[in-house]
Amino acid sequence: DAQAFNTELAIEGLGCAWALPGLELLMDEPQRKAHVWQAMRRLMARWKQNDE
C-alpha cells in the first residue's frame, strides 16, 4: 500500500515493521529516497546506543 510507505506497521506475531517502497520504485522515482532517509533517521535511535 503506497499510503503506508515510510511508516511503522504492527504485524501480529512479528512486531513492528517498517513499510518501504521497493528498490525498483526508488530507482524509477529517486525523489522518494529523501523520504526514506527522513523516516530512517527517526527510527535510527532504536538501532544506536545512547552513548555513541
Task: Check if the beta carbon of residue 19 is closer than 8 Å to that of residue 7.
Answer: yes
The model carries a pTM of 0.63
pLDDT for the residue numbered 6: 85
How many domains does one find in the chain?
1
Is the residue at 30 inside a domain? yes
d(CA 45, CA 19) in angstroms, rounded, equals 17
Q: Which residues pair with 9 in a beta bridge?
A: 17
Is the residue at 52 inside a domain? no
pLDDT for the residue numbered 48: 79
Is the residue at 40 inside a domain? yes
pLDDT for the residue numbered 50: 66
Per-residue pLDDT tens over the stretch 1-52? 778 888 888 999 988 888 899 999 999 999 999 999 988 888 888 777 665 5
Residue 25: domain span: 2-47
